[in-house]
Structure 1
Amino acid sequence: MSSARRIPRPATPQWLARLVVVTALVGVGAGIGGVLVYLGLHALQHLAFGSSEGDLYEGLLDAPPVNRVVALAVAGVIGAVGWWLLRRWGRRVPEHAIVSVEQSVEGRRMPPFVTLANAALQVVIVGLGASIGREVAPREVGALWAGWLAERAGVSARERRILVACGAGAGLAAVYNVPFGGAVFAVEILLAEVSFATVLPAFATSAIAALVARVVVPSNPLYQLPELHLSVTVVVWSVLAGPLIGFAAVGFVRAVRFLQDHRPESWRILIVMPLTFVAVGVVSLWLPAILGNGRALGQLAFAASVPVLLILLTTIVKAGSTLATIGAGAAGGTLTPSLAIGAGLGLAGGAAWNLLWPGAELPAFALIGAAAFLAVTMRAPLTALLLTMEFTGQGPELLVPVMLSIAGAVAVGYVLERARVTGIA
């Protein structure tokens, strides 16, 4: 049986001009969305903890400890009521159900009010200290804007798919100032296609969004690291540690998946989420770095400025608090929490390795662990590599051990995932 071949749309000057304009507008809108998310987060942090410079950890230390519990309690109540209403509405009116970025890329329309409300709730709880990533909100805003523009411009289904993915990647690029990582996120994860048709708009939208957001978002790297150097001991450690970090990351991913599938439904979220958030707030009285999207713990690990055992304990509790937040029914991401957890595990493992083979800088181990853990949780080694390097401002000096650790971790993740699908594990 023969099938009709799809005839591509002629590349007329009008068609090209429309695509160029729409692509540029996607980048501008995603950049503005990233700015709004950034400003909202830091306004809430300042309100709750007095952090005027956007550094949540310093604000946590300077503010009275009771503020952590109160802020988490408020976040739990707002989040619980908000998501209970949104999900209840979505069950009654399916066309107003929450639509993820991945579903939008595949063709589903994102309802504007529900999408913006869902993103706003994420900004509120993260700004008040909830232990979950903030990156989903700007991605949803960027994807919503791109989908709306695509409908108005009358582009094809394939062009809409590419624009929505690029809008989501551009939102990520804007809020974190990671234009390269945002573009590759859209191409590698959302589109899974490397071609001129995907790479060019992804690069353009992420670059424009990051440029627009730079008016507000700092241009310096998210994490500050000392100058790091390559050494034989670091290379050997990266080969050995990569698979071990992969095992830990797979466990984290499976726990996230399980909790997302068993989150409280209906009215139960009104009880579970506030209680969970208060419990996390109480624990933060002793371990404040578990709060927020993971930047606090990540910076401690990259700086190696406090005892390693304390960072390891904080890392374990951070993983638990993030899982508890997801299990309580909160929406959000695991990008920066994964980066922080990987950095903490890498630092702890590297400190032990340094006792056997001294001579390496401890932050190098944290960097390698962060990239490997993130690669498994995102299931995207290239995106994880680029995001880690952009987040930390690192150049090519440690590319070799980072790539080796990512390869080992992702290989373990792939094998365990295949075993799970086939019923072996």
Structure 2
Amino acid sequence: MPSIPSAPGRSTPGWLVRLIVVTALVGVGAGVGGGLVYLGLHAIQHLAFGYSEGDFYEGLLDAPPVNRVVALAVAGVIGGVGWWALRRWGARSPSHAVVSVEQAVGGRRMPGVVTLFNAGLQVIIVGLGASIGREVAPREVGALWAGWLAERAGVTARERRILVACGAGAGLAAVYNVPFGGAVFAVEILLAEVSFATVLPAFATSAIAALVARAVVPANPLYQLPELHLSPTVVVWSLLAGPLIGLAAVGFVRGARFAQDHRPKSWGILIVMPLTFVAVGVASLWLPAILGNGRALGQLAFAAALPLIVILLTTLVKAAATIGTIGAGAAGGTLTPSLAIGAGLGLAGGAVWSHLWPGAPLPAFALIGAAAFLAVTMRAPLTALLLTVEFTGQGPDLLVPIMLCIAGAVAVGYVLERARVTGVA
């Protein structure tokens, strides 16, 4: 529970009860918000591609290929007009500017209508196939709800900061059914503080949110993998592959950062976003798994369901499509795209390694690559590890090679980031 203030006139038992109630309500609201994001996303996908059963990738394959281009064109127009209007309004009235979750944790107030509109745009474009993550929307909704509750409850600034971070983590936990990952995301990334005052509310809110969202969000892991076991060849590969995956992840991060810094500032988004989205739609005629938030590519890589060259090409185009989507001016995340790209690279590297030292199933390499790549892009090794485990439902057998690969990848990322900051690279 957030730290209890010792201000005069406040009854400690009464204040504790109030904090417990507020914390529980943050979890409930984040769970409802995550569930609504999940339902909205899937409703748009089913409407756009005309399928009622199966997953997104199967729906893409069953629908006429031209639907992909049309859906992306519609997404580009909706997103372009929506974000142009939203950012123009924010430029004219700073109180109506979009406030990120990180800024909200830092103390800024998230405007309700603007935040919900921004989250809604993300759900729409991802549902229509845009190549970007969906995880920012439920985090924003959870943080908005937590901030509103904190203001009504009259908590201290520190307590508000903790509750907003927990609300964001709970939103992530709800939409993906990852209670542990959502809690650690709030503590490791948003708060950067491991203490009783941060861990307890983070655990409580994420657990409650995931439980509430289970009314609509499936309880099974996001990705289906065979049972995997530790082997010497996997351990050695993890040691060698970690730095290489870290190098690739740094390239992706720098590309995304460059795209973010050079996205259209005003009316240019009305042209750039539709054109970029149509280009992605055209590319999807040959590589359909580049569409969406990355789950399609991730599942194909974990299952090694297509020829290696096809998955590798899809991985590279997915990375370019995600960077292009960010550069076109779209808001969204890179969590599931990063996981998918890492899985594709891990699968490719593992396939080559298996010719030198066979003995391990290819999905093991994809899993390890996904965790390492995600650790670098999130700059959060613990969160990446836990999210990968919860996403795939894998047990402790592969924890050692995953941790070794993450260590090598994050070390390279840290060195290169320091070099960039100091002007060496």
Same fold (TM over 0.5): yes
- Looking at structure 2, the residues matched to 13 and 379 of structure 1 have their Cα atoms a distance apart, in angstroms, of 39
Q: Which residue of 2 aligns with 1:320?
A: 320
CA distance in 1, matches of 2:370, 2:162: 29
Partner of 1:158: 158
Alpha-carbon shift at residue 229 of structure 1 (Å): 1.1
Q: Unaligned 5+ residue runs, structure 1?
A: 1-5
The amino acid of 2:193's aligned partner reads E
What's 1:27 paired with? 27
Please name the residue that 2:290 is paired with: 290
State the partner residue of 2:124.
124
1:373 corresponds to: 373
Once the two structures are superposed, residues 243-287 of structure 1 have per-residue CA deviations (whole angstroms, 9 ceiling, x without a partner) of: 000000001001111111110111100000000000100000000
Partner of 2:419: 419
Distance 2:288 2:83 in 1: 26
Q: Secondary structure at the match of 1:264?
A: coil
Instruction: Give the aligned residue type for 2:95.
Output: E
**Contact 1:35 1:174 survives alignment (8 Å):** yes
The residue aligned with 2:143 is 143
Partner residue of 1:272? Answer: 272
Q: Normalization by structure 1: what TM-score?
A: 0.98
Which residue of the partner structure matches residue 3 of structure 1? Answer: none
Ranges of 4+ aligned residues in structure 1 off by more than 3 Å:
6-11
User: Shift in Å at residue 51 of structure 1?
Assistant: 3.2
Shift of 1:50: 2.1
What is the CA distance between 1:393 and its match in structure 2? 0.2
After TM superposition, give the deviation of residue 23 of structure 1 in Å: 0.2
| Alignment correspondent of 1:254 | 254
- Structure 2 CA distance for aligned equivalents of residues 259 and 288 of structure 1: 23
Q: Does 1:171 align with 2:171?
A: yes
Counterpart of 2:296 in structure 1: which amino acid?
A
| Conserved? CA contact 2:173–2:179, under 8 Å | yes
CA contact (8 A) 1:33 1:141 kept: yes
In the alignment, the residues of structure 2 paired with residue 300 and residue 8 of structure 1 have an alpha-carbon distance, to the nearest angstrom, of 54
Q: Distance in 1 between matches of 2:50 and 2:400?
A: 41
Taking structure 2 as the reference length, what is the TM-score of the superposition?
A: 0.98
Work out the percentage of aligned pairs sharing the same amino acid. Answer: 86
Q: Take 1:181 and 1:242, find their aligned partners in 2: how far apart are those partners?
A: 22
* Deviation at residue 55 of structure 1 after TM alignment: 1.2
Q: Which residue of 2 aligns with 1:407?
A: 407
Show the 5 A alignment for 1:69-218: 69-218=69-218
- The answer (yes or no) to whether the contact 1:45–1:54 under 8 Å persists in 2 is no
In structure 2, relative to structure 1, the CA distance for the partners of 1:53 and 1:162 (3 Å cut) is farther
- How far off is 1:305 after superposition? 1.5
1:41 CA displacement:
0.3
* CA deviations over 1:95-145 (Å, ceiling 9, x no partner): 100000000000000000000000000000000000000000000000000
1:131 counterpart SS class: coil
CA–CA distance in structure 2, aligned partners of residues 54 and 19 of structure 1: 42
What is the deviation of 1:54? 6.1
Question: 5+ unaligned residues in a row in structure 2: which ranges?
Answer: none
Count of aligned residue pairs for this structure pair? 420
- 1:18 match: 18
In structure 2, how many angstroms separate the alpha carbons of the residues matched to 1:204 and 1:53?
Answer: 34
Q: Deviations over 1:301-350 (max 9, x none)?
A: 00011111110000000000001100000000000000000000000000
Deviation at 1:8, TM superposition (A): 4.2
**1:52 is paired with a residue of what secondary structure?**
coil
Hey, what's the Cα distance between the residues in 2 that align with 1:109 and 1:358? 55
The separation in 1 between residues aligned to 2:49 and 2:160, in whole angstroms, is 41
Which residue in the other structure is 1:234 paired with?
Answer: 234
TM-superposition CA deviations, 1:150-169 (whole Å, max 9, x none): 00000000000000000000
- 2:107 maps to a residue whose letter is G
Inter-partner Cα distance in structure 1 for 2:346 and 2:357: 15
Structure 2 counterpart of 1:232, one-letter code: P
Cα pair distance change 1:200/1:15, threshold 3 Å: same
CA RMSD of aligned residues (A): 1.0
Deviates more, 1:45-54 or 1:211-220: 45-54
Contact 2:57–2:296, Cα closer than 8 Å, also in 1:
yes
Counterparts of 1:166 and 1:52, CA distance in 2: 34
Q: 3-state SS of the aligned residue for 1:266?
A: coil
C-alpha contact 2:5 2:156 (8 A) present in aligned 1: no
Taking the aligned partners of 1:207 and 1:51, their CA distance within structure 2 comes to 32
